[in-house]
Amino acid sequence: MRIDVVTIFPEYLAPLDVSLVGKARAKGLLDVRLHQLRDQAHDVHRTVDDTPYGGGPGMVMKPEPWAAALDAVAPPDAGPPPRLIVPTPSGRPFTQQLAVELAAEPWLVFAPARYEGIDRRVIDEAGTRMRVDEVSIGDYVLAGGEVAVLVIVEAVARLLPGVLGNAESARDDSFAPGAMANLLEGPVYTKPAVWRDREVPSVLLSGNHGAIARWRRDQALRRTAQNRPDLLERLTPEDVDKHDRATLAALGWTERDGRFSSDGPPVAH
């Protein structure tokens, strides 16, 4: 996969040299190219921003440098275009599903903005010659799009064939103990078996694989009820077995008309 990033802060993307993404690049599985937006601003100050039409606070990124940069990276009428990803707090949510979709693409271009964002006409015009997605990595406000690019690139890169080792890639996220991406993962433990007087739950040392799977599933249900009740509300009766139902009931969650809902304050444990 090829990834181009156009930014006024290419040095902000230095983490792409490290760890999983850095190794994927070293292996030739990922070709990342960074581009300085200011190289396309030709006035003495290499200006990329201006005041907003209609007034208001802050500055807006000018269209000309962005258009020149995007044309240079992906010339119009030069073969299959890339997908353009524009991080913004107003975008569609970035999810694992979108990561999987992007991981199947041969070429992504990222346009992380600063200030109050990019002149709308750049996005609209790019949309006439390539698929454009404005994407939000979460409901909080960053100072610019570079960190969102790091998040998205890491989530996509780990899905590329050959990037993860055998042990890690065998763990398909959607079939992990929490199951079906409907539930959060439970807690994990490693040696030593006792640490600062705290024991690893004995079932994990039992060698009883059925009991371990059941315990992990119960922990996943408990953690999901605690941290992401919205995920439990999406569960359907087909997602749960008899024991799940009992665990959910103990957590205050019962089925009514094919959907689960909380009966009231959760029971303390």
* Chain residues in the site for ligand JCH (CB under 6 A): 87-89, 113-114, 116-117, 136-138, 140-145, 148
> In terms of CB distance, is 58 or 237 closer to ligand JCH?
58
222 labelled catalytic? no
Least separation in angstroms between residue 173's CB and ligand JCH is 21
User: How would you label 142-153 residue by residue, b for 16+ Cβ within 10 Å and e otherwise?
Assistant: bebbbbbbbbbb
- Nearest distance in Å: CB 135, ligand JCH: 8
Contact between 38 and 48 (Cβ < 8 Å): yes
Closest residue (Cβ) to ligand JCH?
A: 145
Residue with the two structure tokens 């005041």: 51
Task: Give me the catalytic one of 17, 50, 116, 168.
Answer: 116
Q: Which is nearer to ligand JCH, 65 or 87 (CB)?
A: 87
Nearer to ligand JCH by Cβ, of 97 and 261: the residue is: 97
Spatial neighbors of 155 by CB under 8 A, at least 6 apart, are 94, 96, 99
Find tokens 């969102």 and name the residue. Answer: 148
How far, CA to CA in Å, does 54 sit from each of 51, 101, 118, 119, 251?
Answer: 9, 37, 15, 13, 52
- Which of 17, 168, 173, 199 is flagged as catalytic? 173
Strands 83-93 and 107-110, sheet pairing: parallel
Cβ 7 to ligand JCH, closest distance in Å? Answer: 11
Tell me how far, at minimum, the Cβ of 15 lies from ligand JCH, in Å: 17
Describe the crossing of helices 146-157 and 96-103 by its angle, rounded to 10 degrees: 70
92 flagged as catalytic: no
By beta-carbon proximity to ligand JCH, the closer residue of 24 and 60 is 60
Q: Is 158 a catalytic residue?
A: yes
Tokens of 192: 């030593």
H or E element at residue 256: strand 253-256
For ligand JCH, the closer of residues 149 and 248 by Cβ is: 149
- Judge contact between 235 and 208, C-beta under 8 A: no
As measured in angstroms, the least distance from the Cβ of 252 to ligand JCH is 32
Is residue 89 among the annotated active site residues? yes
Catalytic residue among 38, 158, 223, 228: 158
Question: What value does the CA radius of gyration of the chain take, rounded to a whole number of Å?
Answer: 24
Residues with a known catalytic role? 89, 116, 158, 173
